[in-house]
Amino acid sequence: MARSAGVIGFAAAPDLAVGVEQWQRWLRHERRASPHTIDAYVRDLAGFLAFLTGHLGGLPSLADLAALRRADFRAWLSARAGNGLESSSTARALSVLRGFFTFLARRGLVENAALSGIRAPRLPRSVPKALTGAEAFDALDSAAELSDESWIAKRDTAVLTLLYGCGLRIGEALALNRGDAPPATDRVTDLVITGKGNKQRTVPVLPVVAAAVADYLAACPFGGAPEDPLFFGARGRRLGPRQVQLQMERLRYLLGLPETATPHALRHSFATHLLASGGDLRAIQELLGHASLSTTQRYTHVDTARLLSVYDGAHPRARR
């Protein structure tokens, strides 16, 4: 097994090992990927190269990569399926592989069109599901680990804390301006949110949520005026939803969360955890900005027995 600086554990011939080192440097310095993201990518690529070592009967080289056929890639997919790996994991690994081959092609190291003809495994269609309380806390606690830049780490923590702590849609959170930021106090404060159809609602903001936002604002190098965006991207523009979705993808990989753990799932979790703790369904409807109570009921993931107990304790007829 070839070993060189930055590629410990890779089964690769020397020329390919150099290409892997270049790829890792590119991820780190040009793509500015976090260490956790790079580690995840490296694991996927290392698994593929380890498969090739057995499949080809020796350490793979750049020439070997260029000579791979569709049948070789399909054999890799078949081996993953035979090892019981989930289709979502394989789809992610295939995405990493495509990115690596694209990197090599742009530098004139490897040309191979066979990979473009390989389809990713079909993933089951699912709606966002609520995280457990432990999963939600782990996601918020680990968000800062995804970036080496302190202010971006604080921003990611603030965004996810706001989504889970207030039950906001991602678009609602990212549409907020600096002047909308909740004050950092030891009391619950109010935040006015403009939702679908330009309907406004008031949501309570816990001190821990306001503190996360204030911590981010104190470190943010951009803005300062009330009309400036509350959340900025790395280039000084309003943060977009795709950046938040990518961070949740990285958290899923880092923490082993289900594929349904998305930014929107934090909103589901907010509603579900409130209802499971005895929250009033009508009040939760108001907090979420739902026009219909039935929408709120479908939105939460609490078993029927829990819902019946809420109605049984609240309906006047039940007390007769």
* Lowest-pLDDT choice from 30-44, 148-162, 302-316: 302-316
At 123, the pLDDT band (50, 70, 90 cuts) reads: low
Q: Which of 31, 55, 238, 264 is catalytic?
A: 264
| Averaged pLDDT, 254-261 | 84
Is residue 247 a contact partner of residue 149, using CB atoms and an 8 Å limit?
no
- Better-predicted residue by pLDDT, 225 or 11: 225
Q: How confident is the model at residue 132 (pLDDT cuts 50, 70, 90)?
A: confident
121: number of Cβ within 10 Å: 15
At residue 4, does pLDDT exceed 50?
no
Q: Is 169 tagged catalytic?
A: yes
Catalytic residue among 216, 268, 299, 301: 299
pLDDT at 159: 96
CA distances in angstroms from 23 to 37, 93, 122, 276, listed in the order given: 13, 16, 28, 47
Q: Are 206 and 167 in contact (CB under 8 A)?
A: no
Dihedral class, residue 9 (left if φ above 0, else alpha if ψ from -120 to 50, else beta) = left
Predicted TM-score (pTM) above 0.85:
no
Catalytic residue among 196, 242, 298, 306: 196
Tell me the average pLDDT of the chain.
Answer: 83
Tell me, what's the pLDDT at 226? 94
Name beta bridge partners: 203. 191
How high is the pLDDT of residue 291? 56
For 83, the 3-state DSSP assignment is coil
With residue 296 as reference, give the H or E element that holds it: helix 293-299
Answer whether residue 22 shows pLDDT above 90.
yes
pLDDT exceeds 90 at position 255: no
> Of residues 169, 178, 250, 301, which has the active-site annotation?
169
Residue 252 C-beta-side C-alpha neighbours within 13 Å: 18
Annotation marks residue 290 as catalytic: yes
DSSP state of 226: T
The active-site residue, picked from 80, 250, 267, 273, is 267
Active site residue 306: no
- Phi, psi (5° rounding) for residue 190? -110, 150
Beta strands in 199-245 (DSSP E): 200-205
Q: Domains (ranges, CATH) in the chain?
A: 14-117 (1.10.150.130), 133-304 (1.10.443.10)
